[in-house]
Amino acid sequence: MLELPAHVIDAMVAHAHAAAPAECCGFVVGAAGVATRTIPLRNELASPVAYRADARDLFHAFRLLRDEGLELLAIYHSHPTSPAIPSRVDLAENYYGDLPRIIISLASEPPAIKVFRLHSDGFDEIECTPSRRLDIRNAAR
């Protein structure tokens, strides 16, 4: 299960706006399936169509997770001008396995926010509303 409180969603959207016109990226972290905060990461590509998290930021993020006893619950990134749908690049660079992916699209107002489970041959969308527990374990494949 994954619970995304409104303040966590607001933080992701704020990061997406701040990074635009480039894609943003970051982690959603918490405990027992409840997201408590985001860890924004720098996009070293500074690209509007791709991201690669800065290696130093990743190092510090994983240290923070360890030191504070937090869990990595999801990965987020933005699509500044395209829909909140995983791209071919998103599918090809699926480094974290079954971890949910959150995409924030700034192509509409308000921004569209969708959650996905990625597979090598496609993806499944997981319904998302603020403060709702999402059953990510039982998403249809």
| Identity at 35, one-letter amino acid code | A
Our answer to whether residue 3 is catalytic in this structure is: no
**In 3-state terms, what secondary structure has residue 122?**
strand
Q: How many residues does the chain have?
A: 141
Sign of CA dihedral 13, 86, 39, 49: negative
Q: Which two tokens stand for residue 109?
A: 């107002």
Q: Order of strands across the sheet with 112-119?
A: 122-126, 112-119, 101-105, 71-79, 25-31, 34-41, 2-3, 133-134
**Which residues participate in catalysis according to the annotation?**
23
